[in-house]
Structure 1
Amino acid sequence: MLPVLVFTFIHLQMAAGSTDILESLNFISNPIMRNAKKPDLTFTFFPDLLNYQANAVPVTEAQHPWIARVVHSRTADVPHMCTAACIAEAIFITSSRCIHYLKVNHTTIIYMSKRFDALAFVIPSKPTKQAFDDIGFIVVEDDKSVKRDWPVIQLIDSVNRTDESFAWFSELVSYKYKVVGYAMEKGYEHIPSQTDQFNLTELNVVVSMELCPKILKFINKRRSGFAVPCYHSCTLQEHEKNNDRCYNYHGVEGGAVIANVMGYNKLMGVATWGPYVPNYELPVGFAVVNSENFFEDFRCATKIRDDNGLLITKGYYQTLCNSG
């Protein structure tokens, strides 16, 4: 008997018709252009988040019905791995780092108080340095015979990613932001346990391109760089004055960074990395949901979800996503 192959990841290859997903999301119709200038990340290291919060506000799933937990078990609610957000029927996104070492056939999404088995993971075929800008997709199994609602969060769609040095990001900093996700209380982050309590919390934050380059260079004078999108509980000026707000913190893998756009919450990105020092709370880096990788992978995840099983054996989706 032939060995059973367990499908884990799809490394999506660029395919013809790549603008279809942009049009389907009503994304700004101007073509995505690539500027030759790139940020210098030579001396930049993007460490893992420790999944804790300090002084964040407890909230309920009813307030954010699109939020979800990723656990690495098909039967238990532990171990908790990361936070995810539902952006379309049976499609969730999180930090690519979170799912990189998980097994699909062990992974469950807990969403709307129900359990959904993972069907496939999609991760970028063109990863960024230490996955600082990488978003992972989880497609879950869905019994089509059962009618159900899929509360989703809309993606922010007001700005194209026109370059790789994040010059376009300046158009997004004026919104009011918060980050939402499942976190443990500060003080337990260095005591890993499968029974850790991760509760849903949120925190008001500010986003900026200045936070990480200036604060992290100050913390570690030997390094420069970090010129990527980040959020923090306070502004750079407040941080320099040691304002009390700066001791608030929320940093979890896959944490949803949401913007208030004309009274509606829209998903700006997901938390992907963040440094840690004992005496300070530092900015958190996040991936914005407007990269070519993101939209190509979204198209791939949609194909997997919509596959009827007639054209391809269940679990083997690489060819499906490579097709035009």
Structure 2
Amino acid sequence: MYTESNGAVLDFGSLDNYQVNAVPTSESKYPWIARVIHSRSSYVPHMCTAACIDEAIFVTAARCIFNLKVNYTRVLYNSKFYDTLAFVVPSVPTKQAYDDIGFIVVRGKNTKSWQVINLFNGANRTDGAYQWFAKLDMSYGPMKYKVVGYAMRKWINKIRVPERHYDLSELDVVVNLEICNKILAKKKAKILFRVPCYHSCTAEEFEKNNAKCNRYHGVEGGALIDTISNKLVGIATWGINYDKYEVPVGFSVVNSENFFKDYRCAKLIRDDKGSLDVKGYYQSLCDD
């Protein structure tokens, strides 16, 4: 939790990688989806979801990779394991990583076919208060949202063992700038959340205890897509968990200057043909 200069209190918690009443789906429907595994010899432990956006480049929540070691991390993508070459963490991090996307560069760039999801390009950020996001429907046109990722069932997330089972699932969601603020600010006094979020129902439906609001999908690195354009809009990065009800999930939109700066860094690492043995070499490729 931290306090802004204007007195606003913000609290961006970690996602517990679970779903409630989400719809099972398959990798054949979403061939760009991937799992991040912290082992070079096993399918466990599963750490988070990732999305392939370019040859040998994946994006996920930065929080996921902060605790990983490159030498132990693999990406399971299209039924094949890829060893990690490098992580690219945010060059300009945000408080509690609520707006932070990390990149995973894997070995195997010469693979013949990479199934990727294109990035949303309907609007660039024009301010730090998300006014551009509030006007997105007017500037870009209608959008329909869905979140996709690997999740376990609720309550299983309380069992702290590496063998917990994660399945790929999806959920239709509502996205806007006020849904977190209207729902979470009432649950946590004096805390403001006017940032992009998604939920299975609107704030008005939540107030009326609509059954739709009992559905939930909150996983680190979960991919938020626009099903009309079939483009990646954002990556799930934070959430607050309650035992008795489900609340919105926060995400980072893949369109900031910092995001594209880090993306360029990931491509420089992928395309480099230099030495792999010098400490700090990859970092030097991305230094301004």
Residue 190 (structure 2) pairs with residue 223 (structure 1): yes
Residue 76 (structure 2) pairs with residue 110 (structure 1): yes
Residue of structure 2 equivalent to 1:185: 153
Report Cα offsets for 1:126-169 as digits up to 9, x if no partner: 1101000000000001163xx42100001000101000000011
Residue of structure 2 equivalent to 1:232: 199
Q: Is the 8 A contact 1:120 1:315 kept in 2?
A: no
Residue of structure 2 equivalent to 1:306: 271
From 99, 119, 127, give the equivalent of 1:163. Answer: 127
What is the rounded CA distance, in whole Å, between the counterparts of 2:73 and 2:158 in structure 1?
24
Shift of 1:322: 1.3
- The structure that has the greater radius of gyration is 1
What is the rounded CA distance, in whole Å, between the counterparts of 1:87 and 1:39 in structure 2?
36
Residue 248 (structure 2) pairs with residue 283 (structure 1): yes
* Paired residue secondary structure (1:98): helix
Residues 41 and 232 of structure 1: CA distance in aligned 2, closer, same or farther (over 3 Å): farther
What is the rounded CA distance, in whole Å, between the counterparts of 1:125 and 1:41 in structure 2?
26
Which aligned pairs between 1:134-283 and structure 2 lie closer than 5 A?
Answer: 134-142=100-108, 144=110, 147-172=111-136, 174-220=142-188, 222-261=189-228, 264-283=229-248
How much is the aligned-residue C-alpha RMSD, in angstroms? 1.7
* Paired residue secondary structure (2:260): helix
Shift of 1:237: 1.1
* Paired residue secondary structure (2:158): coil
Structure 1: tracts of 5 or more residues without a match: 1-37
* Paired residue secondary structure (2:270): helix
What is the rounded CA distance, in whole Å, between the counterparts of 2:53 and 2:246 in structure 1?
30
- Return the letter of the residue paired with 1:266: K
- Return the letter of the residue paired with 2:77: Y
TM-score, with length taken from structure 2: 0.93
Report Cα offsets for 1:48-79 as digits up to 9, x if no partner: 00100000000000000000000100110100
- Return the letter of the residue paired with 2:234: G
Residues 311 and 112 of structure 1: CA distance in aligned 2, closer, same or farther (over 3 Å): closer
- Return the letter of the residue paired with 1:200: L
From 294, 313, 316, give the equivalent of 2:281. Answer: 316
Structure 1 segments, 4+ long, off by >3 Å, are 38-42, 171-174, 310-315
What is the rounded CA distance, in whole Å, between the counterparts of 2:25 and 2:9 in structure 1?
38
Residues 311 and 255 of structure 1: CA distance in aligned 2, closer, same or farther (over 3 Å): closer
Shift of 1:260: 2.2
- Return the letter of the residue paired with 1:118: T
Report Cα offsets for 1:164-192 as digits up to 9, x if no partner: 00001123354110000000011211112
What is the rounded CA distance, in whole Å, between the counterparts of 2:252 and 2:234 in structure 1?
5
Q: Is the 8 A contact 2:87 2:105 kept in 1?
A: yes
* Paired residue secondary structure (2:263): helix
- Return the letter of the residue paired with 1:166: Y
Residue 40 (structure 2) pairs with residue 68 (structure 1): no
What is the rounded CA distance, in whole Å, between the counterparts of 1:236 and 1:39 in structure 2?
27
The number of residues matched between the two structures is: 281
From 6, 17, 20, give the equivalent of 1:51. Answer: 17
Report Cα offsets for 1:185-218 as digits up to 9, x if no partner: 1121111210000000000000011111110111
Shift of 1:42: 3.9
What is the rounded CA distance, in whole Å, between the counterparts of 1:100 and 1:314 in structure 2?
19
Q: Is the 8 A contact 1:182 1:201 kept in 2?
A: yes
TM-score, with length taken from structure 1: 0.83
